[in-house]
Amino acid sequence: MASRFALVIDPAAADDLRTDFAETFTVIDPSAPALSVGELSTQRGDGIFESIGVVDGHAQEVGPHLERLAHSASLCDLPAPHLEQWRQAIAQAAASAGAGEQVIKLILSRGIEHGPTPTAWVTAAPAADFSAQRTAGIRVVTLDRGFDSGAPARAPWLLLGAKTLSYAVNMAAIREAHRRGADDAVFVSSDGVLLEAPTASVILRQGDRFVTPAPGAGILHGTTQLSLFAHLEALGFATAYETVPASALPRADAAWLVSSVRLAAPLTSVDGTAIPVDAELTASVNRYLLSPRD
């Protein structure tokens, strides 16, 4: 944990006339007290975040992550983040990172209760070692997400497309998967539509076609999935966003959970039903995901 890093951003100091935001950053000790107990992130899970992969000092897909941060802010009625300020904060965090894989987290909280502005900070830390999951694969179980596929459109206050700090259910789903002897979970709507994993997108291979659940279904639009689809299209494969029935997952020719830090983890089974693993394609995909991407 030698190379951990954190900086606090002053969002109130961001304006369009400024071009250098270094003065709006305060580097802090990541293990020292930094947040007050009045923080709404901690009291209410009231804020948004992003996790960005860093490979050998290069922060991956910064643009799509910042776009999604802005989208989450809009869904949560938070002030629009000043993207150039965040971009410079990410660059400073990435510059602190050594070789190998790291993870940068962006957090935008609603701030101190009754306070005037949001609170914002960026951290960097070594990534966990996911090499076994990337090669040997993972077993998943499907878990009911509770809502039907119409809920996201009719009830935007459920924040289903926003990457909020209120992740207690996502964490509980992973614990439930472990209880069932699996490595991770895949959420399914109450009417049987495939959604996403608690911290990853799902991609299915059907013949020479790659399919992922449509973001309108109340799931996050995965930055890694987006990047991977562009790569697969460049290789000549067809890709599609669709309403995928949960029953299609165990029948897929291959399937992966993809996310910014773990990258592509092939599914070896779903609810105990084995799924074929394409080791060669998976290795090729992970090499691509480890290459510098913007």
Residues at the interface with its own copies (CB under 8 A): 6, 28, 30-39, 41-47, 49, 76-77, 105, 107, 109-110, 112, 121, 123, 143-148, 151, 154-160, 162, 164-173, 175-176, 190
Question: 22 is written with which tokens?
Answer: 């270094």
Contacts by 129-135, CB closer than 8 A, 24 or more apart? 130/261, 130/262, 130/263, 130/265, 133/183, 133/262, 133/265, 134/262, 134/263, 134/264, 134/265, 134/266, 134/282, 134/286, 135/279, 135/282, 135/283
Nearer Cβ to its own copies (133/164): 164
Nearer Cβ to its own copies (178/287): 178
Question: From CA 263, how far away is CA 241, in angstroms rounded?
Answer: 19
CB of 173 to its own copies, least distance (A): 5
Residues facing 257 on adjacent strands: 202, 265
CB of 84 to its own copies, least distance (A): 23
CB of 37 to its own copies, least distance (A): 5
Task: Give the closest residue to 248 by CA, choosing from 160, 188, 178.
Answer: 188
Instruction: Say if strands 184-188 and 138-144 run parallel, antiparallel, or are unpaired.
Output: parallel
Amino acid at the residue 145: R
Nearer Cβ to its own copies (81/266): 81
CB of 191 to its own copies, least distance (A): 10
Nearer Cβ to its own copies (82/163): 163
CB of 193 to its own copies, least distance (A): 14
Nearer Cβ to its own copies (20/77): 77
